[in-house]
Amino acid sequence: MKPSNTLYFGVLFLTGLLACKTESAPDGPISGTVRGAKGMVLYFEELGSNGTELIDSVVIDANDGFCITKPAGGVNFYQLRLGPNQPASPMQMPSNICPIITDSTEKIFLEIDPRFMARPIRVEGSPETALLNEVFRLADSFSRIQDSLSQQMQNSSLSNQATMEQNQRAWEQYRMEIIAWVRAHLGAFSTLQAIYYLDVDDLNNLGLFKEVLDALMPRFPNNFRVENFNTQVSMKLALAPGKTAPNFTLPTSKDDTLSLSDFYGKHTLILIDFWASWCAPCRAENPNLSAAYSKFKAKGLEIVGVSLDQNKEAWLRGIKDDKLSWPQLSDLGYFNSEAARLYGINSIPANFLLDANGVILASNLRGPELNKAIEQHLP
């Protein structure tokens, strides 16, 4: 589980209404048409480092035309929002948003169908927005496959196992298409959106992320999104197999303190397990951890639980209810916990398997994969 957040949310209000020009006489950096939307308000917003910021707003004219007169700033993700903010699930874009990538130099024309705001019918003058459209279409294709498989399972034409296998094949095909698209467009700002669809915790993707970063840094050296991505990739590289795990010291459930390094040299393998009592997937995984602990403790396995709870009573109750017998640590700092920040934790459950000296062997292991990795590294 992860804290609710998404690229496309914001609560903003109208700050001014400006007249629009038609397609034949656009007079601003962004103009176009929104079919059948005359009289509605269109907002131009930047997805900035501090959230969504309003730049301009216009009323769509009688010919369905609009013209944004205030320019964008530096290259970044922006959006045209039709009408009021709409609720949407975390990680999902509201249906009244048209995302674009632009800067202060472009003069863009867009033709938009309000039923499909995120996929403009026509994009002129903004190569990055056109590329962004391609990325979203790849994602749409995969979503349609998933919906079809889900429907077949509900209609009993496919078993759960067959659905899972087909879904896995579809995911791997989609992943390869995204990777191929990214490599074909290295240096494009839109690759930041494309890699958003890949698993950031999958070590197999780290090489690609480094390629993307190496291509973006020279082109956008002071861009906050590129800098944030650089920080994220650097942390992942620092936590890759073969690297030494960062040390930390935290309070324990028994009201003393322990450091990760206290376990070095005393056990053959150490598993750092990030969890929380409020995290349903973590609680579901705890029986697997307990089984592994019972099976491998005598052979040299130790587990160090690190909770991202905020409430001590809930944390201790979770330990008791799930019968967790290994050491438990927490500073009750949620995702701002010292350990969570050191390990770049933004979703849980998460774990790192270390050798006796604190060298990282693997990460984010579950169920059979965890048992297999433990057996592989035990003498």
What pLDDT digit, counting tens, does each position of 102-111 carry?
A: 999 999 999 9
Q: Which helix (H) or strand (E) holds 269?
A: strand 269-275
AA identity, residue 264: Y
Q: Which two tokens stand for residue 221?
A: 């050296």
Q: Which two tokens stand for residue 345?
A: 């934790």
Using alpha carbons, select from 86, 88, 82 the residue that is nearest to residue 113. Answer: 82
CA–CA gap between residue 302 and residue 271 (Å, rounded): 6
Which residues neighbour 69 within 8 Å (Cβ) at sequence distance 6 or greater?
18, 27, 28, 29, 56, 58
349 upstream amide cis, omega within 30 of 0? yes
Chain centroid to Cα 194, Å, comes to 11
CA–CA gap between residue 361 and residue 15 (Å, rounded): 54
Using alpha carbons, select from 93, 85, 79, 89 the residue that is nearest to residue 48. Answer: 79
CA–CA gap between residue 67 and residue 22 (Å, rounded): 8
Query: Which pLDDT score, from 0 to 100, does residue 100 have?
Result: 97
Tokens 């399972």 sit on residue: 153
| Structure letter (DSSP) for residue 113 | -
Query: Which pLDDT score, from 0 to 100, does residue 16 have?
Result: 31
Reply yes or no on whether the pLDDT at 62 is more than 70.
yes
Query: Which pLDDT score, from 0 to 100, does residue 6 have?
Result: 37
CA–CA gap between residue 173 and residue 150 (Å, rounded): 18
Cβ(329)–Cβ(305) under 8 Å? yes
Using alpha carbons, select from 349, 294, 350, 285 the residue that is nearest to residue 322. Answer: 285
Q: What percent of the chain has pLDDT over 90?
A: 71
Cβ(349)–Cβ(285) under 8 Å? yes
| Structure letter (DSSP) for residue 83 | S
Reply yes or no on whether the pLDDT at 20 is more than 80.
no
E-assigned strands of 35-128? 41-48, 51-59, 65-68, 76-82, 97-102, 108-112, 122-124
Q: What are 293-331's pLDDT values in tens digits?
A: 999 999 999 999 999 999 999 999 999 999 999 999 999
Q: Which two tokens stand for residue 369?
A: 């994969």
Using alpha carbons, select from 10, 8, 6 the residue that is nearest to residue 91. Answer: 6
Q: Across all residues in the chain, what is the average pLDDT?
A: 88
Reply yes or no on whether the pLDDT at 149 is more than 70.
no
Q: What are 154-211's pLDDT values in tens digits?
A: 666 656 777 677 777 887 888 899 999 999 999 999 999 999 888 776 778 889 999 9
Q: Which two tokens stand for residue 82?
A: 């039709």
Query: Which pLDDT score, from 0 to 100, does residue 27 have?
Result: 66
Cβ(250)–Cβ(324) under 8 Å? no
Tokens 């804290």 sit on residue: 3
Q: Which two tokens stand for residue 243?
A: 């690297």
Query: Which pLDDT score, from 0 to 100, does residue 171 have?
Result: 78
CA–CA gap between residue 314 and residue 320 (Å, rounded): 10
Q: Which two tokens stand for residue 40?
A: 């509605």
Of 14-18, 26-30, 143-147, 343-347, which one has max mean pLDDT?
343-347
CA–CA gap between residue 56 and residue 295 (Å, rounded): 62
CA–CA gap between residue 332 and residue 312 (Å, rounded): 7
